Amino acid sequence: MNTVALRPPWRLFSLSAPAHFYRATEAVSPLLWATCLVLAAVGLWMGFVVAPTDATQGEAYRIIFIHVPAAWLSMVLYLAMAFWAVLGWAWKVRMASMLARAIAPTGALFTVVALWTGALWGKPTWGTYWVWDARLTSELILLFLYLGYLALVESIDEPRRGDQAGALLALVGAINVPVIYFSVKWWNTLHQGATVSMNAAPKMAGTMLTAMLLMTLACWAYAFAVVFARARAIAVEREAEHQWVAALTRPMEKSA
Amino acid sequence: MSTLIELGGYGRYVWPAYGLTLALMLAEPWLARRRLARALARARTLEALDR
């Protein structure tokens, strides 16, 4: 059997082939994990040591350094999942559908983190862990959409049919993302407005904002690393009998 | 150190928030790596059967 030749990395479209995707993402994985750890360490140090105590919320506000990045990632990952799912459905791009499936658990994780940290932040500031306000409820619906997508694609034995059904659900559910984002504008909610706005000055101290943005970048690096790892696993599962997977297993046998 | 743990009385809210996040962010990559290892092991078995 022939081994797969690597194409130059700048040819991004070559990544739609599972063999190239596998090798490219495996190569960048250590860099992503290192980036995640360094940014998280610096972000937490800034958030807990450098950033001052908030005048109104006291130390409770420090939950923001994980709550806001998790909430942002939960929404962006859903849109990414829907994008790749639809791309795989409409153009039959194998790797796109696998990527959509790989994103879903990580998106669900960040949604759980956003809800959990939000509840723990809500208790000392609002006096309650949960209220059925528009922002919280729409974020909870996002979690159900992730779980529904995962349940749907895993319940269908034939992967391509599962991908198609999942793509439809992901596409319909995408309408919930702008609802989450604009809920604090459209409805009178208990949740505060946007933490960072493109057309207004930051409402927080510079060190607080820097720490939050560093933690967001750390979460991004984490998401890329773990989604790529899961996508590689899905690619190997689906294409176990392909030559490129057989070529992958040979060096492991020699070293064992 | 105790100041950091207590966080002005809000430590009981802040640390569980970060604790669960850390637990989930350690578990997820481990599960993904385990899934990849199992998939590669299955592929190796198939490759051995083909020979």
pLDDT of residue A197: 63
Contact between chains at A237 and B39 (C-beta distance less than 8 A):
yes
b/e map A153-188, b = 16+ CB within 10 Å:
beeeeebeebbbbbbebbeebbebbebbbebbeeee
Contact between chains at A249 and B43 (C-beta distance less than 8 A):
yes
Q: Does residue A18 sit within a domain?
A: no
Q: Compute the distance between CA of residue A104 and CA of residue A106 in angstroms, rounded to an integer.
A: 6
Question: Which residues 81-110 on chain A approach chain B with CB closer than 8 angstroms?
Answer: 105-106, 109
Q: What residues of A are in contact with residue B16 (Cβ under 8 Å)?
A: 120
> Which of B13, B16, B25 is nearest residue A60 as measured by Cβ atoms?
B13
pLDDT of residue A167: 97
pLDDT of residue A1: 43
Q: How many residues does chain B have?
A: 51
Range of the domain at A52: 26-245
Kindly list the distances between the CA atom of residue B11 and the CA atoms of A65, B3, B4, in Å, as whole numbers in the listed order: 14, 9, 8
Q: What is the pLDDT along chain A (256 residues), one digit of tens a residue?
A: 444 555 555 566 667 789 999 999 999 999 999 999 999 999 999 999 999 998 888 999 999 999 999 999 999 999 999 999 999 999 888 899 999 999 999 999 999 999 999 999 999 999 999 999 999 999 999 999 999 999 999 999 999 999 999 999 999 999 999 999 988 888 877 777 766 665 666 678 889 999 999 999 999 999 999 999 999 999 999 998 888 888 888 755 544 4
Q: Could you tell me how many CB contacts below 8 A there are between chain A and chain B?
A: 95
Q: How many residues does chain A have?
A: 256
Cα A56–A57–A61 angle (5° rounding)?
Answer: 135
The mean per-residue pLDDT over the stretch B13-38 comes to 96
Q: Are A30 and A221 in contact (CB under 8 A)?
A: no
b/e map A137-149, b = 16+ CB within 10 Å:
bbbbbbbebbebb
Q: Does residue A75 sit within a domain?
A: yes
Q: Compute the distance between CA of residue B43 and CA of residue A7 in angstroms, rounded to an integer.
A: 24
Q: Does residue A256 sit within a domain?
A: no
pLDDT of residue A241: 85
Q: Does residue A7 sit within a domain?
A: no
Residue A54: helix, strand or coil by DSSP? strand
Give me the number of domains chain A comprises.
Answer: 1
pTM greater than 0.80 (yes/no) = yes
Q: Compute the distance between CA of residue B22 and CA of residue A12 in angstroms, rounded to an integer.
A: 33
Q: Does residue A55 sit within a domain?
A: yes
Helices (H), chain A: 18-45, 64-91, 94-126, 134-155, 159-173, 176-186, 206-238, 243-255
Q: What is the end-to-end Cα distance of chain A in Å, rounded?
A: 21
Q: Does residue A221 sit within a domain?
A: yes
pLDDT of residue B33: 95
Residue B47 C-alpha, separation from nearest chain A C-alpha, in angstroms: 6
Give the type of residue at A158.
Answer: E
SS3 of A62-125: the string is: HHHHHHHHHHHHHHHHHHHHHHHHHHHHHHCCHHHHHHHHHHHHHHHHHHHHHHHHHHHHHHHH
Contact between chains at B39 and A105 (C-beta distance less than 8 A):
no
Q: Does residue A13 sit within a domain?
A: no
Q: Please, which residues have CB within 8 angstroms of residue A86's CB and are 6 or more apart in sequence? A: A167, A170, A171
Q: What residues of B are in contact with residue A63 (Cβ under 8 Å)?
A: 13-14, 17
Q: Does residue A17 sit within a domain?
A: no
